[in-house]
Amino acid sequence: QVQLVESGGGLAQAGGSLRLSCAASGLTFSTYRMGWFRQAPGKEREFVAAISWSGGSTSYTDSVKGRFTISRDNAKNTVYLQMNSLKPEDTAVYYCAAAPRLRPLDFGSWGQGTQVTVSS
């Protein structure tokens, strides 16, 4: 079965950085589009960033463009989210998700999430 395990969350000060990792197993990682989503308290889960199966295409929500970078290492079955210039509004639980290459919008597999807290 597919397993996605996030790590790297924690507490950071505004303006600081964190790097999230998501280790995948139980799937052919290199054939999946990977995404990061987040959910802040009292809010709906929202899209943050995604990367194509090859790593050649990325997309971001407007609020993180220029600050966050998504990347992947298919040899390690891992996707990353480098978060720089963090803001208090980035505080949320961050989730990793996987979508099959032929259904790139179908994020059907999810991790348990990792908490990111940014203090002002």
Instruction: Provide φ and ψ at 97, rounded to 5°.
Output: -145, 155
Q: Which of the four pLDDT bands, split at 50, 70 and 90, describes residue 53?
A: very high
Tell me the average pLDDT across 43-53: 97
CB hemisphere CA count around 13 (13 angstroms) = 0
Q: What pLDDT is recorded for position 107?
A: 96
pLDDT tens by residue, 22-41: 999 999 999 999 999 999 99
Q: Is 42 exposed, middle or buried (0-12, 13-18, 19+ CB in 10 A)?
A: exposed
Take residue 66 and report the two structure tokens written for it: 């220029």
pLDDT tens by residue, 55-94: 999 999 999 999 999 999 999 999 999 999 999 999 999 9
Q: What pLDDT is recorded for position 86?
A: 98
From CA 103, how far away is CA 71, in angstroms rounded?
20
